[in-house]
Structure 1
Amino acid sequence: MTTATWNGLVVAESDDIVTVEGNAYFPRDAVREDVLRPSETHTVCPWKGTASYLTLEVDGQRNRDAAWYYPEPKDAAREIAGRVAFWKGVEVR
């Protein structure tokens, strides 16, 4: 089982992980929606497409843009459709 933990809370947990470029992508339904906040941040990857970001909020603490996903990944990255990855101090184990 792979978990993503931030600020002492497991924010995602699944045994269905897709790893791309060293990042673990969790199924969206394995991520706690109650700790996710929308973000206006977007980045573009030439082969994956446009990423959208999410801010984590746990116990009043915010980790801005700590999660990302590809709403419409390019064909080369279709395996990460509907999945979320983490960084910025989120511990994935």
Structure 2
Amino acid sequence: MVIEMDSDTAVLLIQSKVLNACYPNAGLVSSCKRLMNLFQRIKLQHIYRERNDVADGLATWSHNLDLGYYYSEESPAWLGCLLLNDSLGAVEARLISTS
């Protein structure tokens, strides 16, 4: 299994051997590590946001939701276009500050 995420920091924290218990998200990182240990073959890697439109779209969409757990039998209609972009390997350009 390959897990891709757009946070370099999260990838480094989860892959680290030692985790500072004072880190604000130490509990979440520990939970991720425990879950990953349940799999025989698992790879965690960084992927740029522009290469994962579905995850970026869902994350952006979630900012408009109240906190809590959400379950749906169907995906949002707008997700189909993003899934197609991801499957075709389409990439969107973004400006990056150099300062």
Would the TM-score normalized by the shorter structure come out above 0.5? no
Compute the TM-score of the two structures, normalised by the length of structure 1. 0.24
The structure with the largest alpha-carbon Rg is 2
More helix by share: 2
Higher RCO (Cα < 8 Å, 6 or more apart): 2
Between Structure 1 and Structure 2, the one with more strand by share is 1
